[in-house]
Amino acid sequence: MKPGGKLIYSTCTVNKRENEENRERILRVHPEYSACTEAMPFGKSEATLFPDEHGTDGFYIAAFRKTGDK
């Protein structure tokens, strides 16, 4: 991916181990990526949708931007 490109990580679960923990791992292991708020609503770089709150299946979405050349 070229610098400036966006990467979306999405799952169909609300499991923190599969969602937030993977997001943190991506940021830790791949310093060439940073959290990206531009690709997501509400100015956040991640969102979790819950069935009881959003009337949908459980989903998790995180956005990243490639900032480095690696």
With respect to residue 17, please indicate whether it lies within any of the assigned structural domains.
yes
Asked whether residue 1 is assigned to any structural domain, the reply reads: no
State how far the Cα of 21 lies from the Cα of 32, in Å rounded to an integer.
Answer: 18
Structural domain that includes position 17: 6-66
19-63 pLDDT, tens digit per residue, is: 999 999 999 999 999 999 987 877 899 999 999 998 999 999 999
The Cα–Cα gap between 4 and 24 comes to 20
Please give the pLDDT value at position 42: 79
- Residue range 2-27, pLDDT digits in tens: 999 999 999 999 999 999 999 999 99
The DSSP secondary-structure symbol of 69 reads: -
Side-chain half-sphere of 36: how many Cα atoms within 13 Å?
Answer: 20
Strand 33-35 relative to strand 59-66: parallel, antiparallel, unpaired?
antiparallel
How many independent structural domains does the chain possess?
A: 1
Global pTM reads 0.87
